[in-house]
């Protein structure tokens, strides 16, 4: 919402010399955020010019420029060279004879843009013919300003070449733009903003002059008939509880709105259109009440406000035919023909035009919810809908209509009908019994009773200190009609704190009595992340949005539950509508991006949630918010939220150990991925078992490890990705990856580690080479050796794997070093040999291993 300083000064007192920045700072201090400052940052010469002549000059770049001669009066080249101003202009929306705005060399435009004569397109251009945005008038850069169009022919006829355009367009004046929060609908008006500025100055007595404070005539029966006929209120609230209709007849349709009004509308960022439309907009900006002007000649009977019928349609002022919903509230002619979507936009059929002489002014109060839903349904955010949605003062209706009538009479030459319609179903706000100590208790500042009451009165509240229930600490407060947001004690506390000054609130560090620190899961997750980084992986965070084709590219079986993905209804990209069911699904994108940027050796990891709906989404209940939902409803609510396990993934391509002066590097292979999971499990002190898994997508069937807990619970998979997957995803051959469940590891690490005793006697080492069939897993051989070796086995290491000429075809040799140690003695050679033989016997039985 914008506000020119001159308009502000009409409503409240501005300190002498106050600048836009001062006003903005004042508004900020009472909680209204500054959005922008317009105007006041331009120095001339900026003058009215008349286009005398131009020649079209096509350019090599395909553009055609106009080489213009412009009469700028006794300014510029006329003073120095005795000739008219010569200017190059790129725009084409003007004719010879048009009045335009010319900025001359020496001027400075907004944004510190200094104007000088400069060579361009083979000419010396002595200044510039201006577009709206260049002089801070608006945001339009479609063409240059033609003053006949901007101000109307009548006003333009009074202008002369060389006139100062800064004063003409109000550019010398600063306009403050403020961001209005949803609870302060009344600040969508000069009336409200000026009131807030007045508060920021300490609310000096007599310093605020309410622009809505005008005399209004008594309603009577002779006005245009209005019927409020809402048979389907939303949430029990009728769509329209007040409708004022006034008629002005005999308006001269050729008369434009006055230039001061046009200037203000322009400053407010609105475009002057016609007297009737400009007046309704001007009054809305002044007091916050959206108005609508109908051409009375286009109405056949009474105005009926009702809900739309299904199948009904209306062509709105923006020339779009809109199919209406039974929730839309309509203004209709005689209950039949729709004239407008209430509070949102009028229809084309009853629009005022250049032959309209009799105007019906509508000032109504519409239900915020009804307007909000219509605005959202039709994707139509208008000046009116913005205000109604946030709440319009239901007591300003008649005054707004009166202000509009007065302006139409004064500037259109019309006459106001004596008939005044005011259907008023609004109710008075009830008083709230406020504990005056409550603001102190909520804010933490000691506000004396008198301070609280003075602030409330300044805000426009009625304070009753004697009514029912009042005592030393309680008063009855009725908020002003424009403040629907003031309901209970916290609302009043905020007002007191805001007007007294938020910066008076002290700072007291809260002191929770008992904190249990991070949970085991939270600590464990950090350990996982740190362990992955410690193992050489760089942590990244990818978007969880994936393509539908990814499941096929990853080679997931038709019945793989990782195909069950949640679909986003409004994805940013139609190509990626699904939520990932694996972290790897989106981590591959990051790998590809890094490779595309020229990183050849990439090892990255991510920990994050995946989305596992396990079927179609359940419907989550939407219980009432009036009290805590019962346990059954809450359980249903929580259960409707799909399973979102936390998983970690890592992927690597290229060399994991760099080549260098020491020799060649080492490419990442499947074992690095198994090692990564083992490092993480080791960091959490969780023992894991590795087995070959020949059938788990997207891994290579011969190079995939299944990693599980000792009890068999799956932790995850690690290894080389399937060559087909790599081809489908356009990733380098031999790319390796792992994905594992962090929650499983976390849970497994919860129980305290139980320490084993260890021996201080010397170790006894013995080596054994076993011949096994090639398909026998080394992990199985080791398990059997451990089982057979007995309790004295301290460690076992596979130190050689041989397959080749020296062993039987289809077999391989596995060489193990076994280390034995007893808790209570030094083992004898005989004992060690016996243990070894037992180990070999167990391996032989389990895997067919033969000692070489």
Partner 1 sequence: MSRNAGASEAPQPPTDESSERTPMSGPNTNYDPVEVAALDPAQIDAAVEQALAAAAAAGSLEELKAVRTAHQGEKSALALANREIAALPPSAKAEAGKRVGQARGRVAQAFAARQGELEVERDERILVEERVDVTVPALRRRPGARHPIELTAQRLVDAFVGMGWEVAEGPELESEWLNFDALNLGPDHPARQMQDTFFLDPVDSGLVLRTQTSPVQIRTMLDQEPPIYVVAPGKVFRTDDLDATHTPVFHQIECLAIDKGLTMAHLRGALDAFVRIMFGEETRTRVRANYFPFTEPSMETDFLCFACHGAETWGTAEQCRTCGGSGWIELGGSGMVNRKVLRTCGIDPDIYSGFAFGLGIERALMLRHGVQGMHDMVEGDLRFSQQFGMGA
* DSSP-assigned beta bridge partners for residue 297: none
839 contacts: CB under 8 Å, gap ≥ 6: 768, 784, 785, 786, 788, 789, 790, 793, 818
Asked if 534 touches partner 1 (CB under 8 A), the answer is yes
| 495 carries a ligand binding annotation | yes
Asked if 538 touches partner 1 (CB under 8 A), the answer is yes
* DSSP-assigned beta bridge partners for residue 819: 765, 795
Binding residue for partner 1, selected from 599, 773, 825, 852, defined by CB under 8 A: 599
Asked if 30 touches partner 1 (CB under 8 A), the answer is yes
Q: Could you give the angle at the alpha carbon of 13 between the alpha carbons of 9 and 18, nearest 5°?
A: 75
CA 813 from centroid of its chain's CA atoms: 63
Contact stretch for partner 1 (CB under 8 A) within 166-174, 331-339, 525-533, 707-715: 525-533
Binding residue for partner 1, selected from 62, 510, 615, 804, defined by CB under 8 A: 510
For residues 303 and 731, which CB has a smaller minimum distance to partner 1 in the complex?
731
Interaction residues for partner 1, span 611-630 (CB under 8 A): 611, 617-623, 625-628
* Pairing mode of beta strands 736-741, 646-653: antiparallel
| 494 carries a ligand binding annotation | yes
| 142 carries a ligand binding annotation | no
Binding residue for partner 1, selected from 79, 641, 797, 801, defined by CB under 8 A: 641
Q: Could you give the angle at the alpha carbon of 81 between the alpha carbons of 78 and 84, nearest 5°?
A: 40
48 within 8 A of 147, measured Cβ to Cβ:
yes
Separation CA 545–CA 608 (nearest Å): 13
Asked if 236 touches partner 1 (CB under 8 A), the answer is no
Contact stretch for partner 1 (CB under 8 A) within 318-326, 342-350, 438-446, 696-704: 438-446
Measured from the CB of residue 710, what is the shortest distance to partner 1 in angstroms?
28
Measured from the CB of residue 452, what is the shortest distance to partner 1 in angstroms?
14
302 within 8 A of 345, measured Cβ to Cβ:
no
The dihedral built from the CA positions of residue 706, 708, 713 and 715, taken in this order, carries a sign that is negative
Asked if 502 touches partner 1 (CB under 8 A), the answer is yes
Q: Which residues of 521-554 are buried (b: 16+ CB within 10 A; e: fewer)?
A: eeebbebbbebbeebbbeebebebbbbeebbebb
Measured from the CB of residue 522, what is the shortest distance to partner 1 in angstroms?
6
Other CB atoms within 10 Å distance of the CB of residue 83: 11
For residues 515 and 762, which CB has a smaller minimum distance to partner 1 in the complex?
515
288 within 8 A of 282, measured Cβ to Cβ:
no
CA 329 from centroid of its chain's CA atoms: 29
For residues 68 and 595, which CB has a smaller minimum distance to partner 1 in the complex?
595
Separation CA 565–CA 550 (nearest Å): 11
In the shown chain, the binding pattern of residues 178 to 207 toward partner 1, with x for contact by CB under 8 A and - for none, equals: ---xxxx-----------------------
For residues 338 and 613, which CB has a smaller minimum distance to partner 1 in the complex?
613
In the shown chain, the binding pattern of residues 648 to 687 toward partner 1, with x for contact by CB under 8 A and - for none, equals: --------xxx-xxx--x----------------------
| 57 carries a ligand binding annotation | no
In the shown chain, the binding pattern of residues 245 to 274 toward partner 1, with x for contact by CB under 8 A and - for none, equals: ------------------------------
Separation CA 89–CA 103 (nearest Å): 12
Measured from the CB of residue 31, what is the shortest distance to partner 1 in angstroms?
3
Q: Could you give the angle at the alpha carbon of 39 between the alpha carbons of 36 and 44, nearest 5°?
A: 150
3-state secondary structure (DSSP) of residue 222:
coil
Interaction residues for partner 1, span 36-65 (CB under 8 A): none
Number of chain positions touching partner 1 (CB under 8 A): 109
Measured from the CB of residue 40, what is the shortest distance to partner 1 in angstroms?
13
Asked if 376 touches partner 1 (CB under 8 A), the answer is yes
Asked if 571 touches partner 1 (CB under 8 A), the answer is yes
Interaction residues for partner 1, span 457-496 (CB under 8 A): 488, 490-491, 493-494
Beta strands in 289-420 (DSSP E): 291-295, 303-307, 313-315, 321-323, 329-333, 337-341, 345-346, 359-366, 415-416
Binding residue for partner 1, selected from 358, 362, 389, 782, defined by CB under 8 A: 389
Asked if 446 touches partner 1 (CB under 8 A), the answer is no
- Binding-site entries for Mg(2+): 485, 491, 494-495
């Amino acid at each position: 919402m914008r506000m020119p300083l001159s308009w502000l000064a009409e409503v409240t007192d501005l300190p002498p010399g106050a600048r836009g920045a001062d006003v903005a700072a004042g508004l900020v201090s009472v909680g209204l955020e500054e959005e922008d400052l317009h105007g006041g940052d331009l120095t001339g010469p900026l003058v009215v010019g008349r286009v005398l002549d131009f020649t079209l000059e096509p350019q090599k770049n395909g553009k055609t420029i106009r080489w213009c001669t412009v009469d700028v009066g006794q300014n510029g080249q006329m003073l120095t060279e005795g000739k008219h101003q010569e200017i190059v202009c790129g725009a084409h929306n003007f004719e010879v004879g048009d009045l335009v705005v010319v900025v001359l060399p020496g001027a400075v435009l907004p944004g510190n843009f200094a104007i000088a004569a400069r060579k361009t397109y083979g000419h010396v251009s002595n200044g510039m013919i201006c577009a709206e945005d260049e002089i801070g008038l608006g945001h339009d850069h479609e063409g240059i300003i033609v003053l006949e169009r901007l101000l109307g022919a009548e006003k333009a006829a009074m202008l002369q070449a060389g006139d100062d355009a800064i004063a003409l367009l109000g550019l010398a004046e600063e306009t403050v733009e403020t961001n209005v929060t949803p609870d302060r609908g009344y600040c969508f008006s000069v009336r409200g903003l000026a009131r807030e500025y007045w508060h920021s100055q300490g609310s000096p007595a007599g310093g605020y002059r309410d622009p809505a404070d005008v005399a209004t005539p008594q309603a009577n029966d002779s006005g245009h008939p209005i019927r409020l006929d809402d048979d389907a209120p939303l949430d029990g609230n009728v769509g329209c509880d007040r409708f004022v209709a006034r008629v002005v007849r005999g308006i001269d349709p050729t008369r434009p709105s006055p230039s001061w009004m046009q200037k203000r509308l322009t400053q407010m960022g609105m475009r002057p259109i016609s007297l009737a439309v400009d007046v309704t907009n001007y009054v809305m900006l002044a007091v916050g009440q959206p108005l609508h002007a109908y051409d009375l000649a286009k109405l056949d009977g009474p105005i009926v406000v009702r809900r739309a019928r299904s199948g009904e349609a209306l062509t709105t002022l923006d020339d779009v035919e809109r199919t209406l919903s039974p929730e839309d509230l309509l203004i209709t002619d005689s209950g039949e023909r729709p004239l407008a979507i209430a509070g949102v936009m009028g229809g084309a059929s009853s629009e005022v035009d250049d032959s309209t002489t009799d105007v019906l002014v509508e000032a109504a109060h519409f239900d915020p919810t009804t307007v909000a839903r219509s605005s959202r349904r039709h994707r139509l955010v208008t000046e009116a809908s913005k205000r109604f949605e946030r709440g319009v003062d239901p007591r300003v209706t008649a005054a707004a209509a009166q202000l509009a009538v007065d302006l139409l009479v004064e500037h259109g030459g019309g006459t106001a009908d004596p008939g005044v319609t005011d259907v008023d179903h609004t109710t008075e706000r009830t008083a709230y019994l406020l504990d005056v100590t409550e603001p102190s208790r909520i804010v933490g500042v000691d506000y004396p009773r008198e301070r609280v009451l003075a602030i409330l009165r300044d805000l426009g509240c009625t304070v009753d200190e004697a009514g029912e229930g009042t005592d030393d600490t309680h008063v009855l407060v009725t908020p002003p009609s424009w403040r629907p947001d003031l309901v209970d004690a916290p609302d009043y506390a905020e007002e007191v704190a805001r007007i007294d000054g938020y910066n008076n609130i002290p700072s007291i560090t809260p002191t929770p009595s008992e904190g249990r620190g991070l949970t085991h899961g939270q600590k464990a997750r950090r350990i996982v992340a740190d362990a992955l980084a410690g193992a050489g992986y760089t942590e990244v965070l990818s978007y969880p949005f994936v393509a539908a084709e990814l499941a096929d590219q990853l080679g997931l079986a038709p019945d793989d539950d990782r195909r069950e993905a949640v679909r986003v209804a409004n994805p940013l990209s139609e190509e990626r509508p699904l939520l990932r069911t694996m972290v790897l699904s989106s981590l591959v994108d990051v790998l590809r991006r890094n490779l595309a940027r020229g990183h050849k050796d990439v090892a990255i990891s991510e920990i994050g949630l995946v989305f596992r709906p396990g079927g179609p989404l359940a419907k989550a209940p939407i219980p009432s918010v009036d009290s805590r939902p019962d346990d059954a409803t809450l359980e249903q609510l929580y259960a409707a939220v799909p399973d979102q396990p936390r998983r970690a993934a890592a992927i690597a391509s290229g060399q994991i150990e760099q080549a260098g002066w020491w020799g060649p590097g080492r490419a990442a292979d499947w074992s690095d991925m198994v090692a990564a999971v083992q490092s993480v499990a080791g960091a959490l002190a969780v023992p894991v078992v590795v087995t070959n898994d020949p059938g788990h997508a997207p891994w290579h069937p011969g190079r995939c490890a299944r990693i599980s807990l000792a009890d068999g619970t799956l932790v995850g998979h690690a290894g080389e990705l399937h060559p087909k997957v790599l081809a489908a995803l356009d990733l380098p051959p031999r790319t390796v990856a792992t994905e594992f469940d962090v929650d499983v590891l976390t849970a497994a690490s919860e129980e305290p580690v139980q320490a084993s005793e260890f021996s201080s006697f010397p170790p006894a080492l013995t080596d054994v080479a076993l011949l096994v069939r090639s398909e026998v897993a080394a992990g199985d051989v080791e398990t059997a050796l451990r089982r057979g070796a007995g309790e004295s086995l301290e460690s076992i290491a596979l130190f050689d794997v041989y397959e080749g000429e020296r062993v039987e075809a289809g077999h391989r040799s596995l060489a193990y070093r076994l280390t034995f140690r007893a808790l209570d003695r030094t083992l004898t050679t005989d004992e060690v040999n016996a243990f070894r033989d037992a180990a070999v016997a167990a391996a032989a039985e389990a895997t067919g291993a033969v000692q070489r």
